[in-house]
Amino acid sequence: MNQRDSSISRVRIAILAIAPSIVFGQPAEDSWGNLSRLRAGQKIEVVDIKLKPVAGKFSAFSEAAISLLVGKDRISIPRANVLSVKNREGSHRARNILLGLAAGAAGGLAAGAIKGATYHEEGETPVFLMVATPIGAGIGAAAGAALPAWQVTVYRAKARPRP
């Protein structure tokens, strides 16, 4: 294996190691502390352990419970009874498209650079980069647009063993 092949292998390994964290790098949903990202009055949906959804406006949370306003009533649900909390306010479609666009463009750029580096003719690499980058960006943007955008899970309880 010559030095050029060795550097190409290192680039491929680095891309494979980094790609999942870029694409799937999201904060853990099982942290109760994630509820601090919610603002008072924000539309949320709390699903309890009996799978009953309760929609309302976020009021507050503590280590023991979450409170929300449903109509004019303030409801408090104990943390032990909360299965998930979802943010129902605002669409994240634009964010998803931009993230997909960026990840796709990076993947296309990397694929073009790798493919171009395997050719020994001068001037071939820019052609591969100019073709692969927009294709990757388009695929990434389409994938981002396809992601669900109407709700974002802020908290999801860890699986509990059945008694």
The pLDDT tens digits for 84-134 are: 999 887 666 777 788 888 888 888 778 777 777 776 566 555 766 677 778
Helix residue ranges per DSSP H, the chain: 3-24, 93-118, 124-146
The pLDDT tens digits for 103-117 are: 888 887 787 777 777
The CATH class of 32-89 is mainly beta
40/85 Cα distance (integer angstroms): 14
Phi first, then psi: what are they for 157, rounded to 5°?
-65, 145
44/57 Cα distance (integer angstroms): 6
Query: Side chain identity at 102, as an amino acid letter?
Result: A
Q: Give this prediction's pTM.
A: 0.50
156/34 Cα distance (integer angstroms): 10
Residues of the chain with CATH 2.30.30.100: 32-89
Query: Side chain identity at 130, as an amino acid letter?
Result: M
